[in-house]
Structure 1
Amino acid sequence: MALTLQIIGHKKSGKTTLIKDFLMMTDYKFSIVKHTHLPIDIPNTTDTGKFFEHSDDVLLLNNEQMIHYQRNVPMTELEKIKLMQQNTSADFIIIEGIKELDFPKVVLLKPNETKNDFVKITNIKKFVSIQGNKQAEDIENMTKRKQFINNFLKDIQNDR
């Protein structure tokens, strides 16, 4: 079963950048859970958009990818993630957001934020910053970031 971790932080804190670096700076296989508060916008002027608009369950396939879209699924976010953990061939699942879940977390701090801004969040393993916050581990430099990522993944593997 894939080990699961979360990358959280406020908008524009560097979550996408850090997740991309997890994907590119290691030899592990990752699955990603991207949480969004916005609707998924697929123009209804396309065939695909019409299917999404009028169906509760759409599976898009081509030779290289598969996207499964389901609407009105009677499962919690945690249940969906547990299902993914059981069915993925990845070594790790990275969840972007959904800070209410209790997986090991990396919190990205923006320059004017403090650790106290996240006092109600559980299972925080590390506070980091790619924007120069003095209260967090500085991973602005790519060498430091790669070292942080590898150490963090080893740490959560050891915590199993």
Structure 2
Amino acid sequence: MKIYLSFILLFVGLSVTAQQQQEVYKLDSCVQFGANPFDDVVVRVQQTAKWKTKKPSLESHLEKFFDDYTQKRAGGKITISLLVNSDGKPCTYEVRPNSNVRPDMAKLKAWMDMYEWEPAINNGKPVRSFKTLQISFEGKKITITELD
């Protein structure tokens, strides 16, 4: 009986862990950029998209948002995927949380879309591109890494 119970608990534990890591929030189809916003995205660019605003910086902007959600024992990562248009307007289209920090996804989308970015540059012209941000939580400390 103990063997069966152990097997069931192991199966439930593995399935819960797998579900947590596969969690993806599709927040926006980015339709404001047209019917097929992902068709003309340039993947390899000469200069990647950059946060345009000096105050607040990208780090302080995200820290302020997550300040309400972090706890003493916050841990893990959240990956935010943005589509940055050639005019600098962002669209948050996907969030992958793998942490015990669970923000309101609609508020996060609105927060990330508040400020413009400097668009990516390819062949001397601004182009539509992807930007991926990884936010790591270690207690109350937040670290932002731009993945390119």
Fold conserved (TM > 0.5)? Answer: no
The bucket for the TM-score relative to the shorter chain is: under 0.3
Larger radius of gyration: 2
TM-score in terms of structure 1 length: 0.21
More helix by share: 1
More strand by share: 2
TM-score in terms of structure 2 length: 0.22
